[in-house]
Amino acid sequence: MNHAYRAAQRTTPLRIVGFLPLLLVVLHISTALAAPLRWSCDATWANAQENRQCTALVDQRFPAIVSTSELSTTIRVDVTTTERRSQTLTHADVFCDLGDGGVRKVASLALRRCRRVQTSASVVEDSNARVWSLYSVWHAYAAQTVTNQTFPLISVEDVIRSNGNLTIGDIYRPASNRAAARSFYYQYTPEAGPYCIYKRRPGEADPPLPDCVDINATLRRHAEMLTSAGVDSIIIDATNLGTFTNFSDVIQVRPTEVLLEGWSALRAQGIVTPTVAVWNKLPPGSDVWQHFLPLYNKYPDLMAKDTVHTGKYVFFVPTSAPIDPSIVAAIESNGGRNNIYVQEMWTFFPPSDFAVEWAFFSSCIDPATGGYTSSVATTDDCNQYVTTNSSVGSVATVSSSYQLDYGSLPFGAAGNVGVRTLQMQFKTALAKLPDADNILISSFNEELAQPQHNPYAATSSYVRSMGLEWDPAGAEELYVDTFGCDFARDYAPSRECGNRSLVMVTSCLRVWTLARSHWFRSRYGNASHPCDVIEGEACCTVAPEDERKAVWAFRKVDGTDFLVSVDPTEVAVLNASPAWKQVCAYMNGATTFCSDKSLMPTRWAVSGPFYTAAQPTESGAVMLYRCLAGGIKHFFTTDPHCEGQGAPEQDVGYLQPTRTGYAPRSFRRCFDNVNNVHYHSLDHPCPVGVEEAMYGFVL
């Protein structure tokens, strides 16, 4: 058992009772404005644990008290919720105290009949956080363009993984299709394929686009995916445009209307959906908000409301652009209803602003400098800031990745690192703000990105998007928020990268809700972190495939030697030596390493630091060894015998055999025949005549 995250699973078997007792589920559901409601539900528990102290989570959100006996198992749920979801309760996850300081999920039970039971009994209310998720609706131009092409969707992740067989130019053919898609590129392929939720308004004769297909199926799939994960409310990201045009209508306004129409219909069928809030820029002269505001009045039961602090609906505004106070006043007034609160939300604001402003992503903090860092691959704690005292309550923000600069450049973004970034952000949030009023997950389904002109292209041939070393577009254009599926904030499943992020979100929200329950706190209230005692959850277990090694690069000042190192103690010694100079990253971000933008025009830009895998996570992965030849010159190799020139000094880590967004940069060994020195080149060929080997791929 390690500190807060267990690397191994418990092997002691739980005792199985050989009968099928009837599971009686009695639910107490109360709201701030209503008397307690009690519900009785039936289920069968095949593996009831005799004499165990157990609890349960119903539908990811409602903590329960469980008692067991020889004849029956009874669950009582005491919960506060602002939504009457009792008629649609579907399952209960049962957790039991193992008797040795640990808690594990032992059953997931389908709930069948649920009956209302009259009661006047008081209930002990568990304090659940409201879980928010950013949600994108801007897919129509890209989805319709790729669907109308005569070949399957090609994503940026596909281009990276092709290792030269595809280019960015292959994504839209003919090239004019790029304009039709408004330069939106799919960074990865959604699990169900491309989708969109735009359709013409009733009576609209000449809409900007045809109707999207399978809208109802998309809306139901997303509603079920979000609510099953534990998400209560979505925030529509409409931050790009404040002026109403055909473009802003297609990518912001009309899809939001369609979503609300569709989810309202689903609710009428008894299907649970999240509630909805809008996030829109409000500069002077803007008018898109005038199309969003009526939706708060048309769908009062579907719009997200802060029931704890203000009692008002929430409308979010980015602080990245000037905010017109008269527009804020008009929204909050809402025609004299005075029932909306406008909450500011952006990122990269001063730490003091976290007192009141929400962050749509919150970058990890370097404990040594107190500044933002993209170095998450080798840390156990993200230490990101949380919002402590906004008018709608405290909020902890978590995301699968985040960017500090151009996300497609090395160290410009944290990257997913499997699911390590998301896991570390949840770990910090659970520790810093265990009683958060709100949890914000950024984000569900951004999926698209528009490339930006590379501002460094004129002065450096080395500064280019990772994994695109053969592609002219890799040098010409960079990506900011999203790049492939490993440098994306999304947690929706993809065909290329699977569903690990969704599994992690679901697990961590389950851990968070369980840790806030009276049952858990009465037993483990002194635990330093919930994952110290909760076992078997992905949230609490660092997967071996997500472990990385930071690799520093050093060169002798006189040019006679070059080495790589994974030993921080050795790195400190070399940094203190006047004979050695660290080869820095050419971009700021990864504070594990030094950075120096003056390296951009030089070949040292591609001979700097990188990350290797700590475990052979892919078939064909090879270990990189550091060797010392003749006691004077270092070199690296994949030969464990150091090519007959000595013994390995360090195991540098595993190189991946294939290029992916997970390991996008090629790793080559070059030879300086003037100084008789070996060095590496990342995502760039060695100079002509000096390349010795292409060993694999690194982060």
- Give alpha helix (H) positions in 108-211: 140-148, 156-162, 176-180
Structure confidence at residue 94 (pLDDT):
84
Cα–Cα dist 332/56, whole Å: 40
- Name the β-bridge partners of 697: 656, 666
H/E stretch holding 236: strand 233-238
236 touches 317 (CB < 8 A): no
Cα separation, 196 vs 200, in Å, equals 13
Q: Structure pTM? A: 0.91
Helix, coil or strand: residue 290: helix
Residue type, 327: I
Q: Grade residue 5 by pLDDT with cuts at 50, 70 and 90.
A: very low
CA–CA distance, 280 with 137 (Å, rounded to integer): 13
Average pLDDT, the chain: 89
Per-residue pLDDT, 80: 42
- The pLDDT value given to residue 74: 53
Contacts of 282 (CB under 8 A, 6+ apart): 242, 289, 317, 323, 324, 327, 328, 331, 342
pLDDT at 107: 82
Would you say 350 and 387 are in contact if contact means Cβ atoms under 8 Å apart?
A: no
Measure the CA–CA gap between 122 and 126, rounded to whole angstroms.
13
366-404 burial code (b ≥16 CB/10 A, e <16): beeeeebbbbbbbbeebbbbbbeebebbbbbbbbbbbbb
- Residue of 110, 100, 12 whose CA lies nearest to 52: 100
Q: CA angle, 337 as apex, 333 and 343 as ends, to 5°?
A: 45
Least confident span in 167-171, 592-596, 615-619, 663-667: 615-619
45: confidence class by pLDDT, cuts 50, 70, 90: low
* Strand-strand pairing, 340-346 and 358-359: parallel
The pLDDT of 613-621, averaged and rounded, is 92
Q: Which pLDDT band holds residue 574 (cuts at 50, 70, 90)?
A: very high
Mean pLDDT of 612-629: 95
pLDDT band (50, 70, 90) for residue 126: low
Q: Residues 347-359: what's their mean pLDDT?
A: 93
The pLDDT of residue 688:
82
The domain made up of 132-140+191-498 is a member of CATH 2.30.30: no
Cβ neighbour number for residue 426 with a 10 Å cutoff: 26
Length of the chain: 699
The alpha carbon of 303 is separated from its chain's Cα centroid by a whole number of angstroms, namely: 24
CB 420 within 8 A of CB 376: yes
Output the DSSP codes for 70-91. Answer: SSEEEEEEEEE-SS--GGG--E
> pLDDT confidence of 19, banded at 50, 70, 90?
very low
Place of tokens 């299709």: 177
Residue 32, pLDDT above cutoff 50: no
Q: How far apart are CA 157 and CA 150, in angstroms?
A: 20
Q: Is the bond into 174 cis (omega within 30 degrees of 0)?
A: yes
Per-residue pLDDT tens digits for 447-494: 999 999 999 999 999 999 999 999 999 999 999 999 999 999 999 999
CB-based contact 276:259 (threshold 8 Å) = yes
Rounded Cα gap, residues 212 and 234, in angstroms = 21
pLDDT band of 21, cuts 50, 70, 90 = very low
Give the pLDDT score at 52.
66
Are 695 and 623 in contact by the 8 Å Cβ rule? The answer is: no
Give the SS3 label for residue 306. strand
- Residue 60: per-residue pLDDT: 84
Do 156 and 484 form a contact (C-beta atoms < 8 A)? yes
Least trusted range by pLDDT, from 191-200, 314-323, 354-363, 531-540: 531-540
Alpha carbons 146 and 154: distance in angstroms, whole number: 8
Alpha-carbon distance 607 to 679, whole Å?
Answer: 7
Q: Are 360 and 375 in contact (CB under 8 A)?
A: no
Report the distance separating Cα 492 and Cα 95, nearest Å: 26
The shares of helix, strand and coil residues in the chain, as percent rounded to the nearest 5, are 25, 30, 50
In angstroms, the CA 101 to CA 109 distance is 24
Residue with token string 């009874």: 74
